[in-house]
């Protein structure tokens, strides 16, 4: 047989094998999908198809499922086994070694492909220096002529999430100077930083503690120290949207540049939102209201809104809005300060 016919036959067999080598899902309404199992998490199955991309469906809508590659399965009793899947009636069968396992299809807790299982195991017992991700923002503006002004804004955020907890660090600052008639003066100077720690109690509930520091020349504030804690609820947690609500109490100490010092207890509540608008654009929003329990009627509000568009894997462009409202500022100062900055964002992950 000529060589070119042997090569053509070999290629045909390979392509045919590649077409057959796929996972299959049959739904209760008769629809059939071919592709690759990604994961079954909670009540939802995530499945990757060549035609429709990644799709999700209710696990209870799955009538039968088979896999051409090995996946990890968490059985009703909590045991994790690895093998190819098949279905016999209402039973899911796993071709695990040394002996096959089976369980009611409706009772299977979790299914993960190799990548998802790797990520799951990595989150179980990570080192303290692992799983960190974050970004550094910088923006600069200047004007020259009869008067000269310069404005520099920087921000840093970092986070570490595991299956049991989450740590968040943040810092941002704005600094502005102006020169007129050969006299240079600082017209704006604000620093904000702190950390927050969440400890999961369940899939939805968590406890939190936080510590914030703030210096704000706009409000004649030398230093504001806040330490508190509370509890929260994960209202939405999907691939594209995360929304948390939490509330608690805190202690606040304020030292102002005019010599005024204030200590107070506060009740606080707020939300944190992350929304992936597209593959390259993400919106974040955080709001928190602090009600003063010592000076009844006084309150303050922190509101932050940001959007980032990815230019490269490590580089993006950001727009950030940060608002601070204080109902009882020192005499001669306004109650509300709004900062708007834009510039490059550098990202990192470990």
pLDDT of 218 reads 79
pLDDT band of residue 147 (cuts 50, 70, 90) is: low
pLDDT of 82 reads 94
Cβ atoms of 166 and 132 within 8 Å: the answer is no
Cβ atoms of 93 and 65 within 8 Å: the answer is no
Tell whether the model's pLDDT for residue 127 goes beyond 60: yes
110-121: average pLDDT:
91
β-strand pairing of 281-292 with 44-49: unpaired
Residues in the chain: 350
pLDDT band of residue 189 (cuts 50, 70, 90) is: confident
Closest CA to 162 of 142, 193, 133, 194: 133
74-102: average pLDDT:
91
pLDDT band of residue 182 (cuts 50, 70, 90) is: confident
pLDDT of 146 reads 64
User: pTM of whole model > 0.75?
Assistant: no
Tell whether the model's pLDDT for residue 8 goes beyond 80: no
pLDDT band of residue 170 (cuts 50, 70, 90) is: very high
Cβ atoms of 124 and 163 within 8 Å: the answer is yes
109 contact partners, CB below 8 Å, separation of at least 6? 74, 75, 76, 78
Percent of the chain with pLDDT over 70: 92
Domains of the chain are 3-124 (no CATH), 132-349 (2.40.230.20)
Q: Report residue 204: phi and psi, to 5°.
A: -110, -35
Tell whether the model's pLDDT for residue 17 goes beyond 70: no
- Express each pLDDT in 276-301 by its tens digit: 999 899 999 999 999 999 999 999 99
pLDDT of 77 reads 86
List Cα–Cα distances, 332 to 219, 255, 302, 329, in angstroms.
Answer: 9, 16, 21, 8
pLDDT band of residue 125 (cuts 50, 70, 90) is: confident
For the chain, give the mean pLDDT.
Answer: 88
Tell whether the model's pLDDT for residue 11 goes beyond 60: no
220-243: average pLDDT:
94
Ranges 8-22, 76-90, 153-167, 200-214: which has the least confidence: 8-22
């Amino acid at each position: 047989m000529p060589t070119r016919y042997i090569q053509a036959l070999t290629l045909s067999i390979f392509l045919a094998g590649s077409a057959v080598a796929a996972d299959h899902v049959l739904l209760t309404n008769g629809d059939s999908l071919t592709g690759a199992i990604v994961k079954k998490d909670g009540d939802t199955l995530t499945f990757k198809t060549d035609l429709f991309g990644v799709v999700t469906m209710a696990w209870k809508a799955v009538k039968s499922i088979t896999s051409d590659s090995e996946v990890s399965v968490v059985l009703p009793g909590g045991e994790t086994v690895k093998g190819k899947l098949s279905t016999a009636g209402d039973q899911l069968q796993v071709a695990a070694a040394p002996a096959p396992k089976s369980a009611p299809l409706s009772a299977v807790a979790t299914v993960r492909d190799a990548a998802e299982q790797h990520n799951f195991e990595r989150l179980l017992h990570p080192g303290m220096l692992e799983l960190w991700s974050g970004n550094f923002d910088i923006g600069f503006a200047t004007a020259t002529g009869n008067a000269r002004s310069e404005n520099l804004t920087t921000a840093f955020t970092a986070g570490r999430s595991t299956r049991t907890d989450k740590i968040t660090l943040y810092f941002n600052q704005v600094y502005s100077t102006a020169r007129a008639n050969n006299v240079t003066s600082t017209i704006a100077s604000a620093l904000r930083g702190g950390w927050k720690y969440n400890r999961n109690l369940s899939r939805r509930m968590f406890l939190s503690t936080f510590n914030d520091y703030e210096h704000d020349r706009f409000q004649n504030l030398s230093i504001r120290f806040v330490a508190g804690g509370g509890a929260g609820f994960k209202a939405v947690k999907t691939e594209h949207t995360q929304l948390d609500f939490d509330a608690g109490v805190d202690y606040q100490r304020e030292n102002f540049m005019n010599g005024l010092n204030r200590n107070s207890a506060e009740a606080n509540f707020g939300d944190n939102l992350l929304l992936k608008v597209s593959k390259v654009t993400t919106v974040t929003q955080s709001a928190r209201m602090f009600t003063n329990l010592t000076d009844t009627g006084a309150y303050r509000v922190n509101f932050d809104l940001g959007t980032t568009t990815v230019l490269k894997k490590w580089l993006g462009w950001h727009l950030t809005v940060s608002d601070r409202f204080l109902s009882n500022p020192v005499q001669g100062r306004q109650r509300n300060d709004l900062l708007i900055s834009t510039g490059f964002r550098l990202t990192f992950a470990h």
